[in-house]
């Protein structure tokens, strides 16, 4: 959820307009700046992955 929030904030700061409230990549033709929108999604995904990796690393140390 944190990575998704980062993506949403980046989209807002870059003033990218997404007219549909949902739809994923199906609404790509409707987005005002589709390339930046996809970059924002990728940034949020990478942040989510890093946070998950850190969480899993700490969890393994606790379990051992």
pTM of the complete model: 0.80
Assign 28 to helix, strand or coil.
helix
What whole-number distance in Å separates Cα of residue 33 and Cα of residue 8? 14
* CA distance readout (Å), 14 to 2, 29, 33, 49, 59: 18, 18, 9, 23, 36
What whole-number distance in Å separates Cα of residue 35 and Cα of residue 47? 19
What whole-number distance in Å separates Cα of residue 64 and Cα of residue 7? 34
What whole-number distance in Å separates Cα of residue 44 and Cα of residue 10? 9
Q: With bands split at pLDDT 50, 70 and 90, how would you rate the model's confidence at 63?
A: low
What confidence score (pLDDT) does residue 60 get? 67
Tell me: the pLDDT tens digits for 4-33?
A: 999 999 999 999 998 888 878 899 999 999
């Amino acid at each position: 959820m944190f990575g998704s929030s980062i993506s949403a904030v980046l989209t807002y700061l870059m003033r990218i307009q997404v007219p549909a409230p949902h739809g994923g990549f199906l609404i790509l033709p409707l987005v005002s700046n589709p390339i930046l929108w996809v970059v924002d999604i990728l940034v949020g995904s990478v942040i989510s992955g890093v946070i998950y990796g850190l969480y899993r690393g700490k969890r393994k140390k606790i379990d051992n």
